[in-house]
């Protein structure tokens, strides 16, 4: 019998298959702003990082003028591409419809942006009052603030929580609290050394198909 009493999901790359769409938006914005960024950095270094933290790095490395150009363009491109191409991760909606465990979403995006994507897919009934984002806490991942808040709201001990993440920052935050971090690698875009990166960050296991999740949780 599972010891897990709460599931905490990341959103982008775990609920919705959006990381490859952000990569596309980022490429267009980098070209527009004259910023040189490799595909490897786009898909690994910044995967799961809060947007504000990305902008701080760009301000430092490329200057405020190019960063402002990038920010305006990537916001425009993200809205356009997400509206046209966003899909859910295969089989995740079936899991959410059928699970008997309570769950929260803890995303390194503002909850307004997460709600917009939920509305686009018409899946709001699955996310009633369980969304946490960068506006919910003082510090985004890799700080543990969001995961602490989710567990505290649910009244569940940290060691009874499982966290589903596709990025190293969320894995690190979950590990810090003694939660069970699982790394998900089943997105459309394949990240170089994704499985190994998540394992190195502290994931207790990785998986690539949401149909495996019930049995994985049952075994924890």
Per residue in 6-63, pLDDT tens?
999 999 999 999 988 988 998 899 999 998 888 777 767 787 888 999 899 999 999 9
In 41-144, alpha helices (H): 51-62, 64-85, 92-98, 111-121
Q: Report pLDDT digits (tens) over 73-84.
A: 999 999 999 999
Question: What is the structure's pLDDT at 21?
Answer: 93
Q: What percent of the chain has pLDDT over 70?
A: 99
Question: What is the structure's pLDDT at 50?
Answer: 86
Alpha-carbon dihedral of residues 36, 196, 158, 212, nearest 10 degrees? Answer: 110
pLDDT of 204 > 80? The answer is yes
Question: What is the structure's pLDDT at 5?
Answer: 98
Average pLDDT over residues 210-218: 97
pTM: 0.89
CA separation for the pair 189, 21 (Å, rounded): 9
Question: What is the structure's pLDDT at 91?
Answer: 98
Question: What is the structure's pLDDT at 1?
Answer: 58
Average pLDDT over residues 199-203: 97
The answer to whether the CB of 103 falls within 8 A of the CB of 7 is yes
CATH 1.20.20.10 fits 6-17+87-218, yes or no: no
Would you state the structure tokens that stand for residue 214, as one six-digit string?
């019930």
Domain segments of the chain: what residues? 6-17+87-218, 19-85
Question: What is the structure's pLDDT at 161?
Answer: 98
CA separation for the pair 220, 218 (Å, rounded): 6
Question: What is the structure's pLDDT at 192?
Answer: 84
């Amino acid at each position: 019998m599972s010891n897990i009493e709460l599931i905490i999901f990341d959103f982008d790359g775990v609920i919705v298959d959006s990381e490859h769409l952000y990569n596309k938006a980022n490429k267009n914005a980098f070209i527009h702003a004259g910023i040189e960024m490799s595909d490897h950095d786009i898909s690994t270094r910044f995967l799961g990082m809060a947007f504000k933290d990305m902008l701080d790095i760009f301000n430092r490395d490329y200057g405020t003028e190019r960063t402002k150009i990038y920010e305006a363009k990537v916001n425009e491109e993200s809205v356009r591409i997400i509206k046209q191409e966003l899909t859910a991760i295969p089989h995740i909606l079936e899991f959410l419809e059928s699970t008997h465990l309570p769950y929260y979403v803890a995303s390194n995006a503002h909850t307004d942006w997460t709600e917009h994507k939920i509305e686009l897919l018409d899946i709001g009934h699955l996310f009633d009052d369980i969304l946490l984002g960068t506006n919910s806490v003082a510090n985004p991942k890799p700080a543990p603030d969001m995961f602490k808040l989710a567990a505290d709201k649910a009244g569940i001990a940290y060691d009874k929580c499982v966290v589903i993440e596709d990025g190293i920052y969320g894995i690190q935050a979950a590990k810090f609290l003694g939660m069970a971090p699982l790394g998900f690698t089943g997105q459309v875009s394949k990240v170089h050394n994704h499985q190994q990166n998540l394992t190195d960050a502290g994931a207790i296991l990785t998986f690539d198909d949401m149909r495996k999740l019930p049995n994985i949780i049952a075994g924890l």
